[in-house]
Structure 1
C-alpha cells in the first residue's frame, strides 16, 4: 500500500522559505522605499541636495515634480526631476 503524504509536511518548507525571504529581503526594502518617499515629499526651497548624478545644489524653485537647483559659484540653474534627488545634505532653517 502507498503511504499517505501529509499536505502540511510538504508545504511547511515553502512557507518557511517565504517567511525568510519576506523578513530578509522584502520588509527592509519596503522600509527603505517608504523613507525615500517621505524625504522626497519633504523637499523645500533652500534645501541642499545631492542628485543621483552626483551634483550638489540648492533648491531655488519647486513646481510639481520638477526642481530648479543652483550649482557652482556662478549659481548655474539646473532643472531636475524630483526622483533624481538622492539625499538632502542640509535642510533650510
Structure 2
C-alpha cells in the first residue's frame, strides 16, 4: 500500500515539471537557436569583408572599403567626406549584395 502511494506521488511530480521543461524547449528553439545562427552568420560576414565592397556601418555611414587590415581587425572606408577607419564589428551590412538582390 505504501509503495502505491509513493509511485503516485512521484508521477505527479513529473507531470508538474513537464510544463517547465516544455517552456524551456520553446525558449531554446524560438529564441536562443535563431540568435546563435544569426551571430554565426554575422561573424562569417565580417570575416569575408573584402576590398571594394560597398557597406553601411552600424552608425549609418555609407561607403566603399579601400583597405582591410587583418592584424588589428580594422577597415578603411571611403565616404563622400573622406577616408575613415572603422573596426570590423562596426560594419552592419554590405550594399553590394542588397543592390544585386533588387
TM above 0.5, one fold? yes
Structure in which a larger fraction of residues adopt helix: 2
Which residue pairs with 2:66 in the alignment?
A: 60
The 3-state SS of whatever aligns with 2:40 is helix
The 3-state SS of whatever aligns with 2:84 is strand
The 3-state SS of whatever aligns with 2:59 is coil
The one of the two structures with greater contact order (alpha-carbon pairs below 8 A, sep at least 6) is: 1
1:18-41 deviation per Cα after TM superposition (whole angstroms, max 9, x unaligned): 011011111111111111111111
1:10 CA displacement: 2.5
What residue ranges of structure 2 are gaps of 5+ in the alignment? Answer: 98-102
Following the alignment from structure 1 to structure 2, what is the Cα–Cα distance between the partners of residues 4 and 57? 66
TM value normalised by structure 2: 0.79
Structure in which a larger fraction of residues adopt strand: 1
| 1:4 and 2:9 matched | yes
Following the alignment from structure 2 to structure 1, what is the Cα–Cα distance between the partners of residues 78 and 18? 57
TM value normalised by structure 1: 0.86
What residue ranges of structure 1 are gaps of 5+ in the alignment? Answer: none
The 3-state SS of whatever aligns with 2:24 is helix
Runs of 4+ residues deviating >4 angstroms: none
Number of equivalenced pairs: 89
